[in-house]
Amino acid sequence: MGSAESPLEMFNRLMGAEEDKSAVEAQIQTLIAVIQQSEEAQTVTEVREKIVETNNELMRSHLANASVRSGGELFLRYITMTELDQPRFDDTRRVLISRGENFLSRIRQSLDRIMSMALPFINHGTRVLLHSRSKVVLALLKRAAKAQLDFQCTVTQSLPDKSGERMLADLQQAGINASLVLDAEVGVALERVDMVLLGAEAVTQSGGIVNKIGTYTVCLCAHALNVPVYVLAESCKFLRAYPLNQADLDLELRYPASAERTRTKSGGQCRSPITDYTPPQYLKLLFTDIGIVPPSAVSDELTKLYL
């Protein structure tokens, strides 16, 4: 990061430089740079405060999503749990940076692990329903196509940003048999599919997921029609939040940074959220880099980590 570049600018630059860059990756790279540049900090607490400040700043980026919150919290946990009893703070700083790079390399490997676990679930003749655009799901389907598997995809258009259309283009470019349906058509489309494959912006401690608006509806319909819902999510997306319904989901996660987050009391315009929360009872299995787990396992993992 250049001397004049703020963490927010660096984050935006990293996200813009590469297509489909993982927000958590960009965030960790930014945080490592922040630690490297924090020469005036001479204690771990000061570094920690700087990281918290940076995370809050990054959440205000229009390119950030809910995974930035979980990634930041995990990184902080990482920092506070290491053995840091070097006599000079510069050595401590070096340890923090090397641990940060270790964390980063693990995140980069997690995608591959998820794909190898999920691939056996796609066979010849499998019909999949997808919602909006997910980088992880796209990578999995491309891998399945390379393995010469003959399957069909149905993608929802996913308003308001029509990200489903972008997903359709990517799938067709990879030679995958894919078609587009309207968001309202989901109930009808579910009759003709064998499973629903979703990504997630965050996985909450309850085992539910925070994902593009419309996911909750898709999962409710799938549950009613006995279609299994599988979620592909890296473990760095595990978030320490326990929403019980839509209203419990933080405003910060629900609305994009650029929109007005506060709802006006006097009947002012309430903008539609861009994410929703899907409770765990509608999800069959989560494919993460720590294994294929039922939604109930997320709470165990987070508790083991934070206690």
Partner 1 sequence: MQQQQQPAAKELHSNQLAMQVVRRLSKRLQKRQQAESGATAADLIQMVRREAVACAGRDPVDAVSQNACRRVLKILREEAVHSLGASAQLLSSLQNNLFSERPIDYSQVKADSLRDAVSAAIKELLLELETSLDDLRSHGAAHIGENEVVLTLGYSHSVARVLQTAAATRKFQVIVCDSGPNFSGSRMLQLLKTVPQIDASLITDAHAFAVMSRVHRCLLSAQTVFADGGLRAECGTHGLLLAAKRHSVPVLVCTPAHKLAPAYHSVERANVYLNPACLLEENLSFAEVHCPKYDLVPPGLVTLFVTNLGGLAPAHLHRCLAEQYHQDDYSIDAGEADGDASVLDEE
Alpha-helical regions (H) of the chain: 7-17, 23-37, 44-58, 66-81, 89-118, 135-146, 163-173, 186-189, 215-224, 251-254, 297-306
Structure tokens that stand for 243 in this block: 């929403």
Residue linked to tokens 């959440």: 59
Min. distance of Cβ 218 from partner 1 in angstroms?
Answer: 18
How many Å is the Cα radius of gyration of the chain?
A: 20
- Which residue number, 142 or 240, has a Cβ lying nearer to partner 1? 240
- Taking the C-alpha atoms of residue 186 and residue 209, their distance in angstroms, rounded to an integer, is 19
* Chain residues in the site for partner 1 (CB under 8 A): 74, 77-78, 81-82, 102-103, 106, 116, 120-121, 123, 195, 228, 235, 238, 284-285, 289-294, 296-297, 300-302, 304-305
Min. distance of Cβ 103 from partner 1 in angstroms?
Answer: 7
DSSP string covering 80-113: HHS----SSHHHHHHHHHHHHHHHHHHHHHHHHH
- Taking the C-alpha atoms of residue 201 and residue 211, their distance in angstroms, rounded to an integer, is 5
- Which residue number, 250 or 301, has a Cβ lying nearer to partner 1? 301
- Which residue number, 63 or 290, has a Cβ lying nearer to partner 1? 290
- Taking the C-alpha atoms of residue 296 and residue 206, their distance in angstroms, rounded to an integer, is 7
- Which residue number, 76 or 169, has a Cβ lying nearer to partner 1? 76
**Helix, strand, coil tally for the chain in percent (to 5):** 50, 15, 35
Q: Which of 102, 69, 63, 49 is nearest to 256 (CA)?
A: 63
Q: Which of 66, 218, 216, 228 is nearest to 156 (CA)?
A: 218
Is the distance from CB of 194 to CB of 128 less than 8 angstroms? Answer: yes
